[in-house]
A = this chain, B = another copy of it.
Amino acid sequence: MKKETILELLERRKFKDLKEKLESMHPVDIVEMLEDFGTRQAILIFRLLAKEEAAEVFTDMNSDMREDLINALTDSELEEVMGEMYVDDTVDVLEEMPANVVDRLLMATDEDTRKKINVLLQYPEDSAGSIMNVDYVSLRREMTVADAILKIRQVGINKETIYTCYVTEKRKLIGAVDVKDLLTAGESWLIEEIMDENVLLATTLDDQEDVAKTIKKYGLVAIPIIDHENCLVGIVTYDDAMLVLQDEATEDISIMAGVSPNEDSYFGTSVLQHAKHRSLWLMLLMLSATVTGELLGHYEKAMAAMPVLITFIPMLMGTGGNCGSQSSTLIIRGLAVGEIQFKDIFRVIFKEVRVALAVSFLLAVVNGIRIYIMYDQDIMLSAAIGITMMAVVVIAKSVGCTLPLVAKKLGLDPAIMAAPLISTILDTCTILVYFNIVTTIFHLRS
């Protein structure tokens, strides 16, 4: 148990041993450990970390702990940490802190970094510019491979990634060289001989999710980011892309459950914030469901004449909702990973209708047999519920697959067309279809 060992060393004030232990730990693991410790202990341990490690730990920790730490550190300690941080990480930290803390942090950074920070702070949230790294290695076309390696040696030690170097001319991006190519090429070759001129790139204002998807699609280590004048201004690396994709998946999943997306963690969000993020949809869906209720009230006489009809309502509404959600979820995910596009709408509907016919036939038969056995071999009742079931499933799957595609086309987030909304819409359809079919078959007055 590493955590216990660390605590013991801390209590016994064996700082030298403690320092050694911490050096062998990964910053990510140190952060996880500190989150379990008290503030006083966390600060003591933080002070024992080597400069570079301290900066990484500082970057990774949650914002509450970071604020406590900033309040505890002296100006010169803070300056040291900030000096080791990457500019893009500093910007991320600043965006989460209250104004008075931001002032203190900015005081602790040097003039040059402050300028870079200000540029980055101007990019819109969720843009490539807001997550890009401004540290990268740039080469010139007339350099030899040996020159290039020398340049990497000199400057590369502070760059977050050097796996791909970029070739620029008057700050414009003209090519890229993989470190692999540098190492496997002859020393006297020119960069322009080995550089790849077909460079995949993105611009500062591109959506971070699109940039992350490009990185994933092409298996890139990093993608260069250019500004509106086509000048190279930064790179987005694969590790940032992984986090963006995970956050986007979490956001989609939240919306699909009728929860407004939230960038904080589950425990990091207060009860009132949670309530706020969930109330809007609940309210909307609750009021929509009253329509279904009123409609149901409208068929009061039919139900009074044939009370058994009531018992099939939960099953029909449930099956309709589930069928619709299955379809909408598959389409929403297909849109998110780029496998389905709006132009596929007719292919999708044709496929879903056939799936619906197959599925509903099976459900209707199983259910028909159940009703036949349980309700005194009433074949008419079996048939009526079976026909309703098939109609409900076909409608549910058609609506379920169409709405996300339409939302996408209208520029809305397809994820809103998930289970909660689809079920509520389909509940009304189910009641309408059901009572229209049974009142006709059994000659009931509605």
Chain B residue nearest to A318 (CB atoms) is: B289
Asked if A311 contacts B294 (CB within 8 A), the reply is: yes
Write the nearest CB–CB distance from A185 to chain B, whole angstroms: 8
Which chain B positions have C-beta within 8 A of A183?
149, 152-153, 156, 162, 179
Asked if A24 lies at the interface with its beta carbon under 8 angstroms from chain B, I say yes
Asked if A337 lies at the interface with its beta carbon under 8 angstroms from chain B, I say yes
Asked if B321 contacts A423 (CB within 8 A), the reply is: yes
Write the nearest CB–CB distance from A227 to chain B, whole angstroms: 24
CA distance A6 to B371 in the complex (A): 60
Which chain B positions have C-beta within 8 A of A362?
275, 279, 283
Asked if B293 contacts A333 (CB within 8 A), the reply is: no
Asked if A253 contacts B329 (CB within 8 A), the reply is: yes
Asked if B314 contacts A274 (CB within 8 A), the reply is: no
Asked if B286 contacts A318 (CB within 8 A), the reply is: yes
> Chain B CB within 10 Å — which of A162, A274, A367, A427 has the most?
A274
CA distance A208 to B243 in the complex (A): 18
Asked if B315 contacts A296 (CB within 8 A), the reply is: no
CA distance A311 to B25 in the complex (A): 61
Write the nearest CB–CB distance from A62 to chain B, whole angstroms: 11
Which chain B positions have C-beta within 8 A of A322?
258, 281-282, 285, 420
Which chain B positions have C-beta within 8 A of A104?
none
Asked if B351 contacts A274 (CB within 8 A), the reply is: yes
Which chain B positions have C-beta within 8 A of A440?
none
Other-chain residue from B245, B293, B323 in contact with A245 (beta carbon distance below 8 A): B245
- Interface stretch of the complex, out of A7-15, A167-175, A297-305: A297-305
Asked if A198 lies at the interface with its beta carbon under 8 angstroms from chain B, I say yes
Asked if B424 contacts A318 (CB within 8 A), the reply is: yes
Asked if B370 contacts A254 (CB within 8 A), the reply is: no
Q: Mark A323-344, 1 if CB is under 8 A from B, else 0.
A: 1011011110110010110001
Asked if B319 contacts A286 (CB within 8 A), the reply is: yes
Asked if B266 contacts A340 (CB within 8 A), the reply is: yes
Q: Write the residues of chain A forming the contact surface with B, with a CB cutoff of 8 angstroms.
A: 24-26, 28, 149, 152-153, 156-157, 162-163, 179-180, 183-184, 198, 200, 216-219, 221, 238-239, 241-243, 245-246, 249-250, 252-254, 256-259, 265-267, 271-272, 274-275, 278-279, 281-283, 285-287, 289-290, 292-294, 296-297, 300, 303-304, 307-308, 310-315, 317-319, 321-323, 325-326, 328-331, 333-334, 337, 339-340, 344, 347-348, 351, 354-355, 358-359, 362-363, 366-367, 370, 419-420, 423-424, 427, 431
22 A-B pairs whose Cβ atoms sit less than 8 Å apart in the complex: A24-B198, A26-B200, A153-B184, A163-B221, A216-B242, A245-B245, A253-B253, A256-B329, A257-B329, A258-B322, A258-B325, A258-B326, A267-B344, A275-B358, A282-B319, A282-B363, A283-B363, A289-B319, A296-B311, A296-B314, A313-B313, A419-B420
8 smallest beta-carbon distances between A and B, as pairs: A257-B329, A219-B239, A275-B358, A293-B311, A292-B314, A289-B315, A297-B311, A289-B318
Q: Given contacts A241-B242, A293-B314, A325-B419, could you give 13 more A-B pairs where the C-beta distance is less than 8 Å?
A: A153-B184, A163-B163, A179-B179, A219-B242, A238-B238, A254-B333, A259-B330, A266-B339, A271-B354, A275-B359, A290-B315, A293-B312, A296-B314
